[in-house]
Amino acid sequence: MSAAKKQAEDFIKELEQEISELKKRSSEVEQLSQSEDHLHLLQSFLSLNAVPSTKDWIRISTRPPSYEGTVVRAVNQLEETLSKQMKKLFEVELKRVQQYAVDVTLDPDTAHPGLILSDDEKQVKHGDKNLPDNPQRFDTCVYVLAKQSFSSGRFYYEVQVKWKTEWVLGVARESINRKGDITANPKNGYWTIWLSNISKNTYYAAADPSVSLSLQSQPEKVGVFVDYEEGLVSFYDVDAAALIYSFTGCSFTEKLYPLFSPCTNNKGKNFAPLIISTVNHTE
């Protein structure tokens, strides 16, 4: 067998394997779209989030015969179909969790002394004033909790983070330490993600250790969903209808409070407020 013929046959085998994998993934996504089980869906998202890696056949130096060219086109079409299916699946899931939207307002008694809350208690930014201390107030970390707490069921809320260079969002248990330096991770009662200003558009989940997040776009509105009984905390990029990160297998035994941090204003560079938004259900 000539080297060129063997190379062509190897190409075809590899292409057919890619088609098989893409078809399998496409079928899995279709099955998931019928699921009513939030936890199963979200855990599956974590494994299905990335489209299977395929070779960039355009860069292959050997010009494939017409059959191989047809197979290459088939792979590209399948990749596009799978990408659309995944987007549709995320849209379906976001619509589901938005059903559990709750009204959330900020609790001024818990706000760090440097935080400024709006009169309707829906916005928070960092200023330069100082409030008197009290036992509920964070005195070092620039945090504020919601007035509302949850100890069962599911709840969801959305926060506008547009124009900000740094922020923290998530939930915290009632018994958290609010004084001094805090290591925000699940062990200490915090389930959060944050945008860091250390380098541009660097996002992390405050797991233990922290997890660097690779996002397709910079979220302008973040959705937070909690299923208390399932031990699930999930974050969404609302406009992109994309899952950002999920904490799974959490053990909740006390009240959970939504937590917000606009972070310091960084000499005006991060002065935009965090805004608790009205949930507009995805069509």
Amino acid at 205: A
pLDDT attached to residue 10: 73
Picking from 208, 199, 190, 67, the residue whose alpha carbon sits closest to that of residue 138 is: 190
Tens of pLDDT, residue by residue over 30-72, are 666 666 665 556 555 555 554 455 555 455 555 555 655 666 6
Distance CA 39, CA 187 (A): 21
Dihedral through CA 147, CA 136, CA 112, CA 171, nearest 10?
Answer: -50
Average pLDDT over residues 23-32: 67
Question: Are 9 and 16 contacting, i.e. CB atoms less than 8 angstroms apart?
Answer: no
C-alpha dist (Å) from residue 255 to 9, 148, 172, 174, 189: 62, 10, 8, 5, 11
Number of residues assigned to the chain:
283
Tens of pLDDT, residue by residue over 247-274, are 999 999 999 999 999 999 888 889 999 9
Lowest pLDDT segment from 5-9, 24-28, 36-40, 234-238: 36-40
The tokens 């972070």 sit on which residue? Answer: 263
Percent of the chain with pLDDT over 90: 48
pLDDT attached to residue 130: 67
Dihedral through CA 113, CA 119, CA 125, CA 126, nearest 10?
Answer: -30
Tens of pLDDT, residue by residue over 138-160, are 888 999 999 999 999 999 999 99
pLDDT attached to residue 57: 46
What average pLDDT is seen over the chain?
83
pLDDT attached to residue 51: 47
Q: What is the number of H-type helices and E-type strands within the chain? A: 3, 13
Q: How confident is the model at residue 179 (pLDDT cuts 50, 70, 90)?
A: confident
Question: Are 250 and 186 contacting, i.e. CB atoms less than 8 angstroms apart?
Answer: yes
Q: Helix, strand, or coil here: 244? A: strand
Q: How confident is the model at residue 118 (pLDDT cuts 50, 70, 90)?
A: very high
Lowest pLDDT segment from 10-14, 161-165, 235-239: 10-14
pLDDT attached to residue 88: 78
C-alpha dist (Å) from residue 66 to 10, 12, 32, 211: 15, 11, 36, 45
Distance CA 133, CA 165 (A): 28
Question: pTM of the predicted model, to two decimals?
Answer: 0.78
Q: Is the peptide bond before 113 cis (omega within 30 degrees of 0)?
A: no
Distance CA 6, CA 11 (A): 9
Tens of pLDDT, residue by residue over 73-105, are 776 776 777 677 777 777 888 898 999 999 999
| Helix or strand (DSSP H, E) at 88 | helix 66-98
Q: What is the rounded end-to-end Cα distance, in angstroms, of the chain?
A: 57
Average pLDDT over residues 184-207: 89
